[in-house]
Amino acid sequence: MRNNAFALLIPAALLLSACTTVEPVIKDNGPRTAACVEGGPDSVAQKFYDLRVSQPTQGLPDSNTLAKYRPYLSDRLYQKLLTANGQNPKPAAWSQGDLFSSLAQGPTSAEVASASTIPNRDARNIPLRVELSRDNKTWKDEVLMIHEGTCWVVDDVRYVGQVPHAGGGSLTQLLEAKK
């Protein structure tokens, strides 16, 4: 009798365990203190570049422009830009040229590569190639997207275009060099 009860208990336990749902663990780079832009890493990056192309700026963004960029930027990059914006006098390199691309004039169009080719879905940071163009020039840079809280945000821009950026290999390096 004891074995019959035990034999019934095992299938019942298996049946009940199959009914529970397991939520996937979302890996991130810490909590988010600002609003988010909906979407995956490639769509958020594309929306950021669409904003940049539609409202181009040269040099270090002012506080109004930074407020527009805030939902797209990581807390770390946003703080670096705020710190750089507060420095007086502003360095000459920041008063001209596009900080978010290799070409000083900045792009007039941008196409972000799809993140669907990235094999690791649990990634906390994803570098994406961005094909940029202006007039008859085309180049590629790389945008580093990170998962912050429940958002995908821009954490850095790597200048990998054929024309080297005067400030260094990435936006973060440029901001750190100007401290």
- DSSP states of 73-96 as a string? B-HHHHHHHHHHHH-SSPPHHHHS
Written as tens digits, the pLDDT of the chain (179 aa) is 556 655 555 555 544 444 444 333 444 566 677 789 999 999 999 999 999 999 998 888 888 999 999 999 999 999 999 988 876 555 555 557 889 998 888 999 999 998 776 655 556 789 999 999 999 999 999 999 999 988 999 999 999 877 666 556 899 988 887 65
Domains of the chain: 27-177 (3.10.450.50)
CA dist 15 → 8, 21, 137, 144 (Å): 11, 13, 62, 44
Q: The tokens of 140 are what?
A: 């590629």
